[in-house]
Amino acid sequence: MAPKLTTCTFCGVGCGIYLETQSNRLVGAYPSMSHPTNSGRLCVRGWHVHEVAGAPDRLKKPLIRSNGQLHEASWDEAISFIAERLGQIRQKYGPDSIAFLNSPRCSNEESYLLQKLARAVIGTNNVDHGAGVYCNNSIDVLMDMLGVAASTSSIDDLAASEVIVVDGVDLNRQLPTIAGWVIRAKLKGARLIGIGSRRNRVAENADIFLQIKPHTEVALYEAMAKVIVDRALANLPFIKAHCSDYQAFLEQSLNCDLQKSAAICDVPADAIEAAAISFARAGSAALLYSTGIESRGRESIQAMVNLVLLTGQVGKKGAGLFPLTEQNNLQGVCDMGMLPDRLPGYRPVADPAARAAFAGAWKAPIPASPGLDAHAVLGDRGGGKVKAVWLDRYDPIATALFGDVRCLGECDLVVKQHLFQTGLSEFAHVVLPTTAFGEERVSFTSTERRIQLAQKVIDPPADLIPAWEQVVRLAQAMGADWKYTSSEQVMDEIASVIPFYSGVTYDNLAREYGRQWPCTTERPLGTPRLFEEGSSGRKFAFAQIRPVTQGGAASGEYPLTLVIGNSLYYWHQSVLIRHSETLNREYRLLLMDYPNGFVEINTDDARKLQIRDGQKIRLRAAGGSAVSMARVTSEVRTGTIFVPYFVQQIRSQLVPQNGNGSSLIPVRVEKETA
Ligand code: SF4
């Protein structure tokens, strides 16, 4: 049988791959030569994506806790147990005492059914995805300003960009295939502008690198807008035809002082000027930023969209705004409504017409109040209100950066769906094993809105049922009249309730390379580039932003600013990476010099403090202290301490009372002598 095209499930790029099988085992992966995103290329993760399914410690049977221990159970026992406990909890405490969280790696079908279970069967909007712990700001801002919460263009559009701005995201490490597109565009003559507080490989290749103080992007974009307005480079015909609220934005922009903004960001004013002029004068300019783990403040995203609107860099080849999703289905889980305040297709829960539409489709009333988000559920169980939590392929113990998510231990019921035992199992009352990549036919939506099928090429271990089907069985056990017998039927329903998926069928996803939404009956081939006809329907809206008056968080006693963010090293803690033999080895090698983790300190700061690479140091903040090892590097800017995302305990040790507060912490560094 000819191999079927499938999609890599490690990151949001969604590279096209084929899987090799032998005797119902996955034994290899190789790239599609013609897939528009990766054209024959894969990163190291893609080459080894098949190894996860064959890991020897896969969970294969449901487990139920009794007498303090997890014991094997049948599917019927596990589903009945959960249905009964959820029913009791709902009756005693009400539907909002139950919450559902999933991973941004879950399939579209699984995510759609999970939020439908919450809303239509349990009666709560307490649904969110794991990346929502950090924020869903990007969704809200893009919906308000552009009317669409997604990338406006396709990854291969970057080949035609004259200017590419990469803000904050470490492309080479997080989304390597996109980094390849950017570097190839640069080799063909595109100008590359990097923005961020940490030097990465984008910075090494950039024509202009603006190494700003952490979290001063708003001041930077305001200053760029000021330069563009002052030099009469604003695209006035585009603004007049397609935008609203320009006058208020203009008045605010005219009040901006370039020199003051440059001082706030701590970068030269002439570099800001050069970047702004390049972006505005380009025939096509693209702006890339991350929507994932590294949370972006609402205003920094508004400032980026303002810049794109001011210059009309949208709706044409090589131009656009690229909110990048690092997890493979963050776009899809949001499209499917795994959001506490938005129904599938981003319709607000607060909108009575939207609720009525879904109530009609699902034959059940939809609760009117927005639900608790992941942060509230995991922070303190929504003030103690949440008594039961369902976690689908998501383990906050391994990934959440804030506070102490062990409050889950106080729940009356914790259900975990996962491939493997993880730290969360300690608190779980029921563990449901899930199918792995290659064992089920489902769909994912990549960072360029491309909906693609992941094909079933091997059978799952005996008895194992797909996660989406587990949700169906639970809904049925709780009295719902759900009749899905295949994931394809779920997609048919998704197409019937989400207008921009309305032309999607498994048949057309299996042709060519999936479909980029909006894929409708009028546009069955999908839409690679949004807004080619302008703002279509409603006008784009400029946002007014509070003027920024200072940057950074350091003070006299605590002269350095601690920032938490992603680095290549964080991958070594990923549950999936740890279960790929090759990738586990690769990523652990990175940590050979710092086996217990590290924080990064700039070379000049280290010299002043007489700290050498590999030395034990103590970080002191107003609220506490933490010990780590110093990695001395010029990648971080002076005045900054960078904590890779996997060193989770540092934030809670430094800010114990408010571990989920500010992401910038003023600190000082001392040598640790003990
Ligand atoms: Fe997979 Fe992402 Fe690597 Fe492509 S870039 S092979 S989707 S991990």
| Angstrom distance (rounded) from CA 345 to CA 84 | 31
Q: How far is the CA of 46 from the centre of ligand 1 (A)?
A: 5
Q: pLDDT value at position 400?
A: 60
Torsion over CA of 101, 105, 133 and 124, rounded to 10 degrees?
-30
Q: pLDDT value at position 573?
A: 66
Stretch (H or E) spanning 259: helix 258-265
**Per-residue buried b or exposed e for 194-219, using 16+ beta carbons within 10 Å of the residue's own CB:** bbbbbbbebbebbebbbbbbbbbbbb
- Give ∠ CA 586-588-590 in degrees, rounded to 5: 80
The answer, as to whether pTM is greater than 0.85, is yes
Which of 6, 7, 15, 446 to mutate for ligand 1's pocket (most ligand atoms within 8 Å of CB)? Answer: 15
Which of 41, 42, 174 to mutate for ligand 1's pocket (most ligand atoms within 8 Å of CB)? Answer: 42
Q: pLDDT value at position 200?
A: 81
Q: pLDDT value at position 401?
A: 58
Which of 5, 17, 41, 43 to mutate for ligand 1's pocket (most ligand atoms within 8 Å of CB)? Answer: 43
Question: Which residue shows structure tokens 């009794």?
Answer: 66
| Angstrom distance (rounded) from CA 320 to CA 152 | 6
Q: pLDDT value at position 309?
A: 97
- Which class is domain 136-324? alpha beta
CATH assignment of 63-131+329-516? 3.40.50.740
Q: pLDDT value at position 406?
A: 76
Q: How far is the CA of 629 from the centre of ligand 1 (A)?
A: 31
Which of 18, 105, 177 to mutate for ligand 1's pocket (most ligand atoms within 8 Å of CB)? Answer: 177
**ω into residue 518 within 30 of 0, thus cis?**
yes
Q: pLDDT value at position 659?
A: 47
176 lines ligand 1 (CB under 6 A): yes
For residue 38, the ligand 1 atom closest to its alpha carbon is 4
| Angstrom distance (rounded) from CA 165 to CA 161 | 10
Sheet holding 6-7, edge to edge: 6-7, 16-22, 25-31
Cβ–Cβ under 8 Å, residues 615 and 629: yes
Torsion over CA of 382, 388, 393 and 394, rounded to 10 degrees?
20
182 lines ligand 1 (CB under 6 A): no
Residue ranges in the chain modelled with pLDDT below 50: 293, 658-661
Q: Per-domain residue ranges for the chain?
A: 63-131+329-516, 136-324, 560-671
Cβ–Cβ under 8 Å, residues 428 and 452: no
The pairing of strands 599-602 and 624-633 is: parallel
Q: Could you give the 3-state DSSP secondary structure of residue 645?
A: coil
pLDDT digits (tens, 9 = 90+) for 212-229: 998 899 999 999 999 999
For residue 45, the ligand 1 atom closest to its alpha carbon is 8
Q: pLDDT value at position 554?
A: 67
**Per-residue buried b or exposed e for 260-288, using 16+ beta carbons within 10 Å of the residue's own CB:** bbbebbbbebebbbbbbebbbebebbbbb
CATH 3.20.20.370 is the classification of domain 560-671: no
340 lines ligand 1 (CB under 6 A): no
Q: pLDDT value at position 470?
A: 97
For residue 17, the ligand 1 atom closest to its alpha carbon is 6
